[in-house]
Chains A and B, each alone.
Chain A
Amino acid sequence: MKSNTKTVITSKGSSIGNSLLELWRSPALIRAFASRDLNVRYAQTYLGFIWSVIQPLFGLSTLFILFNKIAGIPTDGIPFLAFALSGLIFWNYFNYVLSQSAGAMVAMQAMVKKIYLPRLSIPTAKALVGLVDYAVGLLMLIAICIYYNISLVGMLILPVILICTAMAALGIGLTISAISLRYRDVQQIIPFALQLLFFLTPVAYPTALLSSLIGENWKWMVYLNPIAGMLEIFRGFLFETPYSTLAWGSLILTPMLLLIGLWSFVRADKKMADIV
């Protein structure tokens, strides 16, 4: 009952290692935050959870009309719905985790000022909550693949891509969250930046279209956007289409993004209660 763990508090604050260790030790807290978000999410709505199904359907129809019917962009011979949805579920997850984790700290300032808790638990919980919508989208994708007779074997790569998406989203989100403690302006930029990035990301069109626009020499720039490379690899596996080796670079970039995010977040953490 009586623990003899010794905590030493100094001016140095916490390290990345310590923060991660604390996070590891508080699964109950992460779960509590995640279930709160899910419980609150559709409170007082009539359709409730059905919204999680309507939203991706609506998104997909918009892409279908815009990119397929109006612009008539070819999708490497893959049925448009399967192609677009395979990109949309990752994009939506990335979008959700990034914007939520970037704003989480400011949103939680009242709590952060009053009580100590492993602060990484807040964005981590957001990454879990995003999985619910992701799962709904994934089920729709599986149904579409079965309808078009596409083999599901390629889905085996999915966990890798999903983890990398989470790392990229959290990494960028945490960095923004650290910056926004002092400069709230970044919060204002996020929606625009994400919208712009959406059109620059090959969600509803193939990567080749983008690289042909900027030329072969600058092709590598496409893969600086981690989602671009990850989508290309995922589609390569699922639809058995060729993908660039450069795409693997996108994947390698994601743990680095996470590290940068953790570093800036832990550094900001020290001053969190004094600023927010």
Chain B
Amino acid sequence: MEEIGIHIKNLAKEYEISKEGRKQKFQALRGVSCKIKRGKITGIIGSNGSGKSTMLKILSRITYPTSGSVEIIGNVASLLEVGTGFHPELSGRQNIFLNGSILGMSRAEIKSKFDDIVSFSGVADFIDTPVKHYSSGMYVRLAFSVAANLTPDILLVDEVLAVGDATFQQKCLDKMNDASMKDHRTVVFVSHNMSAVRQLCDEVIWLKNGQIVQIGNPDEVTAAYLQSMDILSKEQPINLRTDRKGAGGAKITKLQWQNQDELLQSGLPAAIDIEYEVTEMQKVANVNFRLNVFNDNGEYLTSLSNQIANVPFQQVAAKGSCVCSFDRLPLAEGSYYITANLFVNGIKCDRVERALSFKVIQGDYYGSGLTNFKDSPGIYIDQDWKYLN
């Protein structure tokens, strides 16, 4: 029988929020019950407002539940945000001791791990410099290194992987993996990054509106979750979406592939039709679209932008349309989605997440009869090869 690390029983949390001057109750968690296995990595996924952060806050004792209980076996350390308590005037060395103590390490423990922390962070040369002189990258690396060298029985992690460059992120993922595999620690990992969740977790909990939708195998749960997100955006064309972010004043009113009844295929011509409308601005100049392309693991691939492509739309009407076309579609077989942004006069007026989801079928991009070797969705890159000697 597998050991239980965290036993959550009928957990509920209610917040009081003021909306339009009146006080309202908001149910962040509505009776969540589950058992988190000891020595395994459990992922928690869900859209914003699903209650996953509240759950982590309760597990880390930052806030108390309204009802229900949690039983935790072993000591807990949480990485809800790295670098908590870092003081800009203190040196890297002093901050390691301060942050380590805040995270619950004893002085002797910090001393014994000091060298590991410093070498993991890669800021050894600046360790006696006040951290206010650090670049933001150095700051984050040092902060994560302290946290990564913690040795609690249970580690709670929230979106830490959103920081740092790709190499450092991979280092962090490996470290978390080690914590579970080698040291048999329980890790609870909240993330939006589905590929990290799949890569790391043994089990995944999907939360929605404060309740559990599904618990189980990471591949199955993340697939079901992503599918539910796709349905959401497929059902609603961009002009009907109300969950917009950005300053407002202008919006994208159309975003779709031309010839919708044909399938998109790698290497064949394709084009996206875009329409926009500026409503609240006197002067319209410099209309800039930025379409960020993600694969269905939630990994960012590339951006499509008239500005990047050096086609500025300077003097244009308040309402208009444009097209972004490809001679040969450089996307490999798989599912993708686009998060669309519209900038007018340099202001981000409109942002729609998952504005367009689509599938691409296999095609012969290079005209060689071969495709990318990895089966995960990605990009084809034009390349020249020459044999020299």
Contacts and interface: CB of A to CB of B under 8 A. Distances in A.
Interface of A: 1-13, 26, 28-29, 31-33, 35-36, 39-40, 43-44, 110-117, 270, 273-274
Contact of A29 (B64, B90, B101): B101
B85 interface: yes
A2 B75 CA distance: 9
B87 A36 contact: yes
A13 B62 CA distance: 11
Contact of B62 (A3, A28, A43, A116): A116
B325 interface: no
Contacts of A273: 57, 62-63
A115 B85 CA distance: 9
Contacts of A1: 151
Contact of B84 (A28, A35, A111): A111
11 contacts: A9-B59, A11-B67, A26-B101, A31-B101, A32-B97, A35-B94, A35-B98, A113-B62, A114-B80, A115-B80, A115-B103
Contacts of A29: 101-102, 104
B337 to A, nearest CB: 31
Top 10 closest pairs, chain A to chain B, by CB: A32-B101, A116-B61, A9-B70, A273-B63, A43-B89, A7-B72, A29-B101, A10-B69, A28-B101, A273-B62
B105 interface: yes
A262 B48 CA distance: 37
A33 B69 CA distance: 31
Given A3-B74, A4-B74, A7-B71, A40 B89 contact: yes
Interface in B1-57: 15, 57
Contact of A39 (B67, B94, B102, B153): B94
B60 A115 contact: yes
Contacts of B107: 28, 31
Nearest to A30: B101
A23 to B, nearest CB: 13
Contacts of A3: 74-75, 153
Contacts of B72: 6-9
Contact of B89 (A10, A28, A39): A39
Given A10-B69, A36-B90, A115 B62 contact: yes
Contact of B64 (A5, A7, A13, A110): A13
A35 B98 CA distance: 9
B85 A111 contact: yes
Contacts, number: 111
Contacts of B80: 114-115
B106 A36 contact: no
B65 A11 contact: yes
Interface residues of B, number: 45
Contacts of B199: none
B58 A9 contact: yes
Nearest to A29: B101
Nearest to B85: A111
Interface in B90-144: 90, 94, 97-98, 100-107, 110, 130
Nearest to B75: A3
A32 B98 contact: yes
Given A7-B71, A8-B69, A274 B102 contact: no
Which of B75, B89, B94, B101 is most buried by chain A, counting CB atoms within 10 A of its CB?
A: B101
Contacts of B101: 26, 28-29, 31-33
Given A8-B69, A10-B68, A36-B94, 13 more contacts: A9-B64, A9-B70, A9-B71, A10-B69, A26-B104, A28-B107, A29-B101, A36-B90, A40-B87, A111-B85, A114-B62, A114-B81, A116-B76
Interface of B: 15, 57-76, 78, 80-81, 84-85, 87, 89-90, 94, 97-98, 100-107, 110, 130, 151, 153, 184
Contacts of B94: 35-36, 39
B64 A32 contact: no
A267 to B, nearest CB: 12
A29 B100 CA distance: 9
A11 B70 CA distance: 10
Contacts of A11: 64-68
Contacts of B104: 26, 29, 117
B47 to A, nearest CB: 22
Given A3-B75, A31-B107, A32-B98, A40 B61 contact: no
Which of A4, A8, A36, A40 is most buried by chain B, counting CB atoms within 10 A of its CB?
A: A36
B98 A10 contact: no
B71 A28 contact: no
A242 to B, nearest CB: 48
Nearest to A113: B62
A46 B238 CA distance: 60
Contacts of A117: 102, 104
A253 to B, nearest CB: 32
A36 B98 contact: yes
Contacts of B153: 2-3
A2 B74 contact: yes
Contacts of B71: 6-9
A9 B15 CA distance: 17
A116 B64 contact: no
Contact of B90 (A10, A31, A40, A114): A40
Nearest to A44: B89
A126 B184 CA distance: 38
Which of A3, A10, A33 is most buried by chain B, counting CB atoms within 10 A of its CB?
A: A10
Contacts of B105: 28
B218 to A, nearest CB: 25
A3 B154 CA distance: 10
A109 to B, nearest CB: 12
Contacts of A116: 60-62, 76, 78
Which of A1, A6, A44, A115 is most buried by chain B, counting CB atoms within 10 A of its CB?
A: A115
A1 B182 CA distance: 13
